[in-house]
Chain A
Amino acid sequence: MSGYRIDHRPGEVIDRSREVAFDWNGDSYRGYMGDTIVSALTASGVRVFSRSYKYHRPRGILTATYHDPNLMVQVGDDPNVRGGHRRIEDGMQVMPQNAWPSLDFDVKATNRLVGRFLSPGFYYKTFMAPRRLWPAYQMVLSRFAAGGTVDPQTDPGRFDHRYAHPDVLIAGAGPAGMSAAIAAAEAGASVILVEEEPQLGGHLRYGGTEDLTALSDLIDGVHSHDAIEVMTDSVVTGRYDHNWVSVVQRDLPGVSERLVKARVKCLVVAVGTLERPYVFKGNDLPGVMLSTAVRRLINLFAVRPGERAVVLSANSSGDAVVADLERAGVEIAAVIDARTGGSVHEATGAKEVSSVLDSRGNRIEADLLVTATGWTSPTALLNMAGDRPTYVPEAARYVPNDLPEEVLATGGMVGDGSTDLLIAHGAATGTEAARRALTVKAFWQSVAPAGRRIEMPKATPAGVPELDHEPHPEMFRSSTHGIVDFSEDVTSKDLISAAKEGYDSLELAKRYTTVGMGPVQGKVEAVNALAIHGEATGSSLLESVTTTWRPPYAPVRLGTLAGRKYEPVRYSSIQPWHEARGAKRLVAGQWIRPDHYGDPSGEVRAVREKVGIIDVSPIGKIDLRGRDVTRLLELVYVNKWSKLDVGRVRYGIMCAEDGVILDDGVTGRLGENHYMMSTTSGGAGTVWNWLDEWLQTGHPEWDVKLTAVTDGYASINVAGPQSRELVRRLTDIDLDPDVFPYMGVHTGTVAGIDDCFVWRIGFTGELSYEIHIPSFHGLQVWEALLEAGEDLGVRPFGVEAQRILRLEKGHFIVGQDTDGLSQGFGFGVDWAIKLDKPDFVGKPELDWQAERNDHPHLVAIQTEDPRLVPVESCQIVATDGAIQGRITSSRMSPTLGRSICLGQVDPELARAGQLIQIRLPNGKSAPARVLTDHAHYDPEGARVRG
């Protein structure tokens, strides 16, 4: 620790009993617990923390806060850390950014010499010819990328989220914010109080004795209320529609950061003001600091920022900093009072300030130039709430204008006044905030549960007393030019020339010069930029413009936004068995399914020759009860349902109103007024909502009760010539074909489990029984089937084998063999579409499709070369290169020992024996022929009916 650390200050936040060792730029340094990276380094005499973006000029402290554009550093593998905010920890590895090869020597600093040629947007005007060199130019430009580095090995860290429902949320815990919190709590509201800094108090923390006394009273008040939840080192990053407010909490055990998502009934914005830099030649030299930066360094961290200071003061903060500097033993070389017309012309120095030239021509030797030239309200949260703050010339800053009912503002961003006045205004605001919040709360409580209609009440907001503005000179730029945007190296000259080039709307100028686009988003510079742009265009006075602030107010880590990794995933109750047998996982929407158990072909052969079982639990199941179920089925399916007897199932197809195939599956009649509908696994939710939609919006009078029972049943398909024998061994259901024919359904006991239902269908093309078991018992029945079928050669098969089996049989899959434009006709199920029904969903479109008869047809296709399997999505191409269709499914068939396909083709090609050409990914063509039937295997369907 060096001579820059001064004696104990009453408000200091460092713990001198606890030293902390850390590294900066490869050297080791020490500071105290509570120091920020920058306060500790300043105490050790460090003045330069970064190099500027474009000209690579050395940069030092400007604001000494989170929003300081010059204090971005790399901490370990964490890029762009705010050195003015982040507190030091033992062993911390801190490196400068954007300073290759070093802070001191810097080749790109030669940019300063050519700076006059790096006018705004210079890159738009060059690097064009010759075009072949453009890639090389790109390399050059990308070398200019600023910021830290990310490491592929970075441990993402631990983040989480939390939902909150405070009556009142207060952004900013300065005097106004704290007293607002106390008043709101006293009025019976629950409060969350958010403060960006590690301590409560705002500017009171680095004020004088009176300020510190007022602060400790406020802290006691806040802590005395259990209804106030305090979040320090936290920031309100956004206010979204309906007062949905995001807060990032930083000071937590266990997690790096937490995102709080709060539905706030009334939001109070009390974020105070940011001090504004002054634009003049050399205003970015290390040693040129804002008065609040100096007051923080001296009073919070007991650090002396320099030896000999010039102070440019336009307000009380400037006066206070003079006193602070004297107390810190800094020699005051000169105080230039802007209120009496004084100003600074230029700061000079090689790597830091060495002298200052004032507007009267005096050159003053100094290593520190402190400016107190005005305040900027960080109105971001107000903008997000729809407010367009207005400019008040007397106060030289923007103030809130027209806030929505659920948002209030208090403190420095509203006006000026003594600490007492700010506290009083905060209290009045807090009371009103509570009143508004509790009105909303009462209404929300009255809603649930309510009748059929809600009308929002019109609240009657009461006003809050005004806060006056202290007069303040308008100071933006001196007679010289300097840096306006420190992050982007944008000068006042750049802004003026951009306006002259035609970028004379403020937004165009911003986009062209990139002013305000940097990591601090122009928070401290914005008003200077507005003023100088106005100066250039002569037109837009500050009164007439305002700038839109987009969320987030402060940058947020992607990890924080992501929170913990919660991706909903579904398992059948039999999945543990599949995992134990090393089944390959298949991701099917939210479901994890067994793709195969190592030998899909073998699994296929087992089904064709003996018997196999597959876990098809994800199949959608919907229980339908009531007198009008048949009417609903008639409406949503294209086929007829009136004549379906109890104990029978029927295959059905659903189309949307545009005639496009939506889903398919079988529905069985279990009782007089009781049906069970099955859907594709992917379509389960869609179909359930679809049925509800047609019932609720079309036929609320119908008596139909829907219950989605997909998860209630584990579903096992037992398929193959031996399936009847296998199932017979385990059930009391009579499987005699005369009693239980193809497309029949029966309920009963299977492997000792009651309330199963079984239907006989044939997706695989074999004799098969689909058993649906109350799901918690699924695994038990699965294992019973394997045990009972051992001598029959039973084998589990996965989704891949099922795909092959159904392809051999020519059954299509909705969404694979059909697409977003596939209307009902042309997929081999034309027989199911009953245009003579009075009404069903999509009927008119299907009528017209039948008339046009120009739709693509799904056909079975076999390549001339039986060993060639054209990959799915290969196009079918005419000799003239026109696309005539595509392969939608293709596999090698273990049963037929040859390649088999399904494909969509133009109608003229949908003829048995038609020769077609398939274009393979390698560009070659493969001749193939269209089959008579969809089925490559057992077209007569003898096996399913067996």
Chain B
Amino acid sequence: MSKTPRFSAWNLFRQGISRSPWPRMWDHHDLESSYDVVIVGGGVHGLATAYYLARNHGITNVAVVEKSYIGSGGSGRNTAIVRSNYLTPEGSRFYDRSVKLYEGLADDLNFNVMFEQRGHMTLAHSDSSLRTMRWRAEVNKLEGIDSSVISPEAIKDLAPFLDITDHPRYPILGALWHPPGGIIRHDAVVWGYARAAHAMGAHIHQETEFTGINVADGKVTGVETTRGPIATETVINCTAGWASLVAAMAGIRLPIVTRPLQAAVTEPVRQFLHPVIVSGSLHTYVSQTARGELVFGASVDPFASYSTRGSLEFTTGLATHVVELMPAIANMRLLRQWAGLCDMTPDFGPIIGPTPVDGFFVDVGWGTYGFKAGPVAGEAVAGMIATGRPGELIAPFGLDRFESGTLTAEKGAAAVGH
């Protein structure tokens, strides 16, 4: 394992002078015959879990098994929005911890993840959505989260391109304003966790596909991969859209339906939009990157699928809605569209914790919220593996809640993914 140097302006300068290449971010390893913990899925959840297992609990004999390249799933396909203004106390508390971790992540990982806290604005076009915004704001305040309902005038000041004049169908009546929310460089988060986890001893196996989980007397004994078997007593499923398929290997059925979530980006233009804008009724959210591109997202596709090919209707519907919000951008050009796979649950809450199979844990069901939860999920799952029980933050999100009928109430606020 190569020594990982610190990144800094000074080292960047030295590197520039010497022209010597930077050492590798992570190395290739042979597949060991056994690991203490095997994590399925090399996205932000899996890699963060590996990182916190090592950093917080000294557990370093860990393999992260990724069927493609790291961050090839939802982690590299989301719209990189971070926020904590959720509807329920448990949801707000949970995501607030994630925001805190994101705020310190560049220092923790010595890798600039470019977290820009530009503020997050959710527009309300009807009395009922305004009521939901207030509901979220009031719950958020009780959790100490900066969140409030603002007027159309305040909206115009924060985002001058928004058309707040009287729309026949979608008047802008107000918005939920959440200053700590913002955008981040999603790939950097993946690479930063991978580099740090690797530096502390975790093995990252890319291009290695999971083919089976061996269970004996209700206990995990090992796993099968395209590069050979691994003996282990602990397997963590962090595979989002593919969660049902991996769980089925252990004989577990989940309350999950996989749906594509599409996103798109325009050509760059000069900066004109600072905050992240979300409209639930118009099923759209938009932000402008530092490069000048507008990044768009919408709600999940109308039917279940494992396809990431994307649809024309996503782009036409999206354009209709963003042009309704900002008529002046009609001449901007949509450059590229793509899709990720979301593991949707009936109550829009995650499923995180143990399963009926001893040693098989899930960190799935994130639906459209997975990326923003990466750090806290990694921290909490690592804690659960180390201590043997789910901590307070994740207790409400167990798999057993579906059988006991105690669903989470996030349902109420889940009109749109972000």
State if A and B touch, Cβ cutoff 8 Å.
Answer: yes
Q: Which residues of A contact B70 (CB under 8 A)?
A: 508
B318 within 8 Å of A by Cβ?
Answer: yes
| Cβ B191 vs Cβ A124 within 8 A | yes
| Cβ A502 vs Cβ B267 within 8 A | no
Render B175-212 as a binary contact track against A, CB cut-off 8 A, 1 for contact.
00000000001011001100000000000001100000
Contacts known (A561-B315, A919-B142); A150 close to B269, Cβ less than 8 A:
yes
Q: Which residues of A contact B22 (CB under 8 A)?
A: 119, 497, 500-501
Which range holds the interface residue count of chain A?
35 or more
Which of A144, A156, A877 has the most chain B CB atoms closer than 10 A to its own CB? A156
B118 to chain A, nearest CB (A): 9
| Cβ B272 vs Cβ A150 within 8 A | yes
B178 to chain A, nearest CB (A): 15
| Cβ A559 vs Cβ B69 within 8 A | no
Q: Which residues of A contact B405 (CB under 8 A)?
A: 845, 848
Contacts known (A117-B16, A557-B330); A80 close to B187, Cβ less than 8 A:
no
Contacts known (A147-B268, A500-B24); A521 close to B335, Cβ less than 8 A:
yes
Render B280-301 as a binary contact track against A, CB cut-off 8 A, 1 for contact.
0000000000111000000000
| Cβ A145 vs Cβ B171 within 8 A | no
Q: Which one of B125, B292, B330 lies within 8 Å of A559 (CB-CB)?
A: B330
A151 to B312, CA, bound (A): 27
Could you tell me which residues of chain A, from 223 to 258, have a CB within 8 Å of some CB in chain B?
238, 240-241, 244, 246
Partner-contacting stretch, out of A364-372, A398-406, A562-570, A729-737: A562-570
Q: Which residues of A contact B68 (CB under 8 A)?
A: 505, 507
A128 to B336, CA, bound (A): 30
| Cβ B270 vs Cβ A152 within 8 A | no
A511 within 8 Å of B by Cβ?
Answer: yes
Q: Which residues of A contact B319 (CB under 8 A)?
A: 558-562
A122 within 8 Å of B by Cβ?
Answer: yes
| Cβ A500 vs Cβ B21 within 8 A | yes
A156 to B170, CA, bound (A): 18
Contacts known (A569-B168, A845-B405, A873-B134); A79 close to B331, Cβ less than 8 A:
yes
A820 to B137, CA, bound (A): 18
Partner-contacting stretch, out of B4-12, B216-224, B392-400: B4-12
Could you tell me which residues of chain A, from 562 to 603, have a CB within 8 Å of some CB in chain B?
562-563, 565, 567, 569, 585-588, 592
Q: Which one of A500, A511, A921 lies within 8 Å of B76 (CB-CB)?
A: A511
| Cβ A141 vs Cβ B290 within 8 A | yes
Q: Which one of B128, B134, B292, B324 lies within 8 Å of A565 (CB-CB)?
A: B324
A259 within 8 Å of B by Cβ?
Answer: yes
| Cβ B112 vs Cβ A563 within 8 A | no
Q: Which one of B69, B116, B307 lies within 8 Å of A138 (CB-CB)?
A: B116
Render A461-492 as a binary contact track against B, CB cut-off 8 A, 1 for contact.
00000000000000000000000000000000
Contacts known (A501-B25, A503-B25); A244 close to B312, Cβ less than 8 A:
yes
B196 to chain A, nearest CB (A): 13
| Cβ A142 vs Cβ B271 within 8 A | yes
Contacts known (A145-B292, A505-B206, A567-B168); A511 close to B331, Cβ less than 8 A:
no
A392 to B114, CA, bound (A): 41
Chain A residue nearest in CB terms to B148: A921
A872 to B132, CA, bound (A): 9
Render A487-519 as a binary contact track against B, CB cut-off 8 A, 1 for contact.
000000000010011110101100110000001
A779 to B363, CA, bound (A): 58
Chain A residue nearest in CB terms to B166: A585
Q: Which one of B27, B311, B329 lies within 8 Å of A558 (CB-CB)?
A: B329
Render A104-124 as a binary contact track against B, CB cut-off 8 A, 1 for contact.
000000000010110100111
Q: Which one of A77, A125, A881 lies within 8 Å of B11 (CB-CB)?
A: A125
| Cβ A117 vs Cβ B13 within 8 A | yes
A754 within 8 Å of B by Cβ?
Answer: no
Chain A residue nearest in CB terms to B104: A131
Render A516-540 as a binary contact track against B, CB cut-off 8 A, 1 for contact.
0001010000000000000000000
Render A144-168 as a binary contact track against B, CB cut-off 8 A, 1 for contact.
1111111111101101010000000
| Cβ A519 vs Cβ B267 within 8 A | yes
A246 to B329, CA, bound (A): 21
A569 to B170, CA, bound (A): 11
A883 within 8 Å of B by Cβ?
Answer: yes
A556 to B336, CA, bound (A): 9
Q: Which residues of B contact A79 (CB under 8 A)?
A: 267, 269, 331-332
A883 to B87, CA, bound (A): 12
B126 within 8 Å of A by Cβ?
Answer: yes
Q: Which residues of A contact B139 (CB under 8 A)?
A: 875, 883
A567 to B282, CA, bound (A): 11
Q: Which residues of A contact B116 (CB under 8 A)?
A: 138
Which of B116, B126, B135, B268 has the most chain A CB atoms closer than 10 A to its own CB? B268
Q: Which residues of B contact A569 (CB under 8 A)?
A: 168-169
Partner-contacting stretch, out of A192-200, A209-217, A547-555: A547-555
A126 within 8 Å of B by Cβ?
Answer: yes
A923 to B8, CA, bound (A): 44
Chain B residue nearest in CB terms to A151: B328
B101 within 8 Å of A by Cβ?
Answer: no
A821 within 8 Å of B by Cβ?
Answer: yes
| Cβ B312 vs Cβ A821 within 8 A | no
B318 to chain A, nearest CB (A): 7
Partner-contacting stretch, out of B57-65, B378-386, B407-415: B407-415
| Cβ A240 vs Cβ B312 within 8 A | yes
Q: Which one of A122, A127, A563, A587 lies within 8 Å of B126 (CB-CB)?
A: A587
Chain A residue nearest in CB terms to B408: A821
Chain B residue nearest in CB terms to A147: B268
| Cβ B142 vs Cβ A502 within 8 A | no
A389 to chain B, nearest CB (A): 16
Chain A residue nearest in CB terms to B321: A562
Q: Which one of B71, B112, B267, B291 lies within 8 Å of A128 (CB-CB)?
A: B112
A326 within 8 Å of B by Cβ?
Answer: no
Q: Which residues of A contact B191 (CB under 8 A)?
A: 124, 512
| Cβ A126 vs Cβ B112 within 8 A | yes
A129 within 8 Å of B by Cβ?
Answer: yes
B316 within 8 Å of A by Cβ?
Answer: yes
Contacts known (A126-B7, A501-B24, A519-B267); A550 close to B168, Cβ less than 8 A:
no
Q: Which residues of B contact A556 (CB under 8 A)?
A: 315, 333-334
A841 within 8 Å of B by Cβ?
Answer: no
Q: Which residues of A contact B152 (CB under 8 A)?
A: none
Q: Which residues of B contact A161 (CB under 8 A)?
A: 316
A215 to B105, CA, bound (A): 62
A152 to B142, CA, bound (A): 38
Contacts known (A142-B271, A145-B271, A502-B26); A119 close to B329, Cβ less than 8 A:
no
A816 within 8 Å of B by Cβ?
Answer: yes
A874 within 8 Å of B by Cβ?
Answer: yes
Chain A residue nearest in CB terms to B281: A587
Contacts known (A142-B271, A156-B327, A501-B21); A128 close to B106, Cβ less than 8 A:
yes
B245 within 8 Å of A by Cβ?
Answer: no
Q: Which residues of B contact A503 (CB under 8 A)?
A: 25
Render B156-169 as a binary contact track against A, CB cut-off 8 A, 1 for contact.
00001100000011
- Could you pull out 24 A-B pairs where Cβ atoms are within 8 angstroms? A80-B267, A117-B13, A123-B112, A125-B11, A138-B116, A146-B268, A147-B269, A150-B328, A156-B331, A241-B311, A502-B26, A503-B25, A507-B72, A508-B70, A557-B333, A562-B320, A562-B323, A562-B324, A587-B125, A820-B412, A883-B139, A886-B138, A919-B138, A921-B137
Q: What are the 7 tightest A-B residue pairs by CB atom distance, in nearest-first order?
A: A145-B292, A559-B330, A561-B319, A555-B333, A156-B330, A125-B7, A873-B134
Known: A505-B69, A873-B132. 9 other contacts (CB 8 A): A134-B106, A141-B114, A150-B328, A161-B316, A497-B22, A550-B337, A552-B337, A556-B333, A565-B320
Which B residues contact A (CB, under 8 angstroms)? 7-9, 11-13, 15-16, 19, 21-27, 68-72, 76, 89, 106-107, 110-114, 116, 125-128, 131-132, 134-135, 137-139, 141-142, 148-149, 160-161, 168-171, 185, 187-188, 191-192, 206-207, 266-272, 290-292, 307, 309-312, 315-316, 318-320, 322-324, 327-338, 405, 407, 409, 411-412
